[in-house]
Copies of this chain bind each other. A is one copy, B any other.
Amino acid sequence: MSVKIALLGFGTVASGVPFLLEENTKKIEQTAQSAIEIAKVLVKDEAEKDSLIAKGYDYPFVTDVEEILSDSDIAIVVELMGRIEPARTFIKRALEAGKHVVTANKDLLAVHGPELLEIAQKNGLALYYEAAVAGGIPILRTLANSFTSDKITRVLGVLNGTSNFMLTKMVAEGWSYSDALAKAQELGYAESDPTNDVDGIDAAYKAVILSQFAFGMTIAFEDVHHKGIRDIAPEDVALAQELGYVIKLVASIEETPSGLAAEVTPTFLPKHHPLASVNGVMNAVFVESIGIGESMFYGPGAGQKPTAASVVADIVRIARRLKDQTVGKGFNEFHQAAVLAQPEDIKSSYYFAIGTPDQPGQILRLAEIFNAEKISFKQILQSDADGQMARVVIVTHSVDKTQLEKVTKRLAELSDIEVYNVLKVLGE
């Protein structure tokens, strides 16, 4: 007997699904203990249907989602349309119609996940979304299945391929932000409006989902402070290298004494840190835990086949659980109340790039300002004066968010000093 699935949308990722189902039939059927059959595919309109048929795809295409929702033979609905609407409504209705759902839609899950998961649970249905975080990397299932025995203390992720591609070019080739963006757009990695990628929004969505799996806490998108890579100057990149670091856009979710701290921000990584060699469009999730210690999961963060591999793994898992009659199990079963960290518990080193008047005594003056907030220096570097201004670079020892805010405010009040950039620095 075969398990019938319906695809909502037949774009790039969706067309990878039949590829894997066909190339890998024997293995899939062994694990699912059923054949998997694409019974219907929802497309936008007749024009899309005709164009897909012309390309040689011969699925039963439909243009009305009702034909899928009302088809009692279809067990699993696979949503690959992206964006919030109509995906949200379609998933909701599929769940209400008693169908299991697989989706790769991180925006939707980060914002409306709890609502959808509740409907799924109430109806004893599966709602799986391995592909929503880090594309092809099987990180969610691994956190849910293998880290059950372990207590995670911090997760660091390079989760946005577009910005990682850009930063890799900026680091390896010395490109400017705008050159890197132009190249990313030319290669199709970045959209014409790159906001979601370069401002850390996409990575923050993924951090919301990772928080659920790694810490059992459902936090809101707004709880993830995000800062992107727009303000990274070639000088910052060069100074990072000089100081022994590589800049990456890093999502960090960590447990502090008062609660969970989640943020996405450009981060100086020590050049020997495993995440520092994650280059180009690749993603990685680095996990710190009391049992395993340090582990890392590396792979493609996007792309047709990697994403489809995660989607099909979810489909296979549901098919098998239908067979085993255990399909009501949640994708993630670790839950605890979400408590957010107090600012004074969120600690890190920071890099300050500061322009000062090209006069003697400036270092002493900066030292006094930082010292007043009890912030000590780990590294300090004074570059050549650039016109009227000298560039001073400071890497601090550990600073909490309250101290950070105070010292930043103090520096901002001084009219002859300019703060070019403040970036997080990961300790060794």
Contact = CB atoms under 8 A, between A and B. Distances in A.
A293 B317 contact: no
A290 B336 CA distance: 38
Nearest to A299: B295
B324 A306 contact: no
A128 B334 CA distance: 22
A274 B275 CA distance: 10
A295 B305 CA distance: 13
A293 B303 contact: yes
Contact of A142 (B142, B151, B329, B333): B142
A35 to B, nearest CB: 14
A297 B300 contact: no
A379 interface: no
A309 B149 contact: yes
Interface in A55-75: none
B146 A130 contact: yes
Contact of A216 (B27, B130, B297, B317): B27
Contacts of A28: 148-149
B300 A292 contact: yes
Interface stretch (A133-141, A255-263, A353-361, A388-396): A133-141
B293 A136 contact: yes
A292 B309 contact: yes
Contacts of A294: 299-300
A23 interface: yes
A312 B149 contact: yes
Interface in A1-24: 16, 20, 23-24
Contacts of A308: 149, 291
B20 A149 contact: yes
Interface in A232-250: none
Contacts of A313: 145-150
B30 A333 contact: yes
Nearest to A32: B148
Copies of this subunit: 2
A257 to B, nearest CB: 16
Given A148-B316, A334-B27, A306 B326 contact: no
A300 B277 CA distance: 18
A315 interface: yes
Contact of A295 (B137, B289, B333, B336): B137
A138 B142 contact: yes
A152 B309 CA distance: 12
Interface string A106-123: 000000000000000000
Interface string A268-291: 000010100101000000000111
A297 B20 CA distance: 22
Contacts of A195: none
A145 B331 CA distance: 13
Nearest to A31: B148
A248 B288 CA distance: 25
Nearest to A303: B293
A123 to B, nearest CB: 19
Contacts of A350: none
A351 interface: no
A410 interface: no
Contacts of A412: none
A312 B150 CA distance: 8
Nearest to A136: B292
A148 B312 CA distance: 8
A235 B188 CA distance: 45
Nearest to A144: B31
Contact of A23 (B23, B130, B290): B290
A276 to B, nearest CB: 9
Contact of A298 (B136, B141, B274, B335): B274
Given A137-B295, A141-B145, A294-B300, 12 more contacts: A28-B149, A31-B334, A32-B148, A136-B291, A136-B292, A146-B313, A149-B308, A149-B313, A291-B312, A293-B300, A293-B303, A298-B298
5 contacts: A130-B146, A150-B312, A274-B277, A292-B299, A297-B297
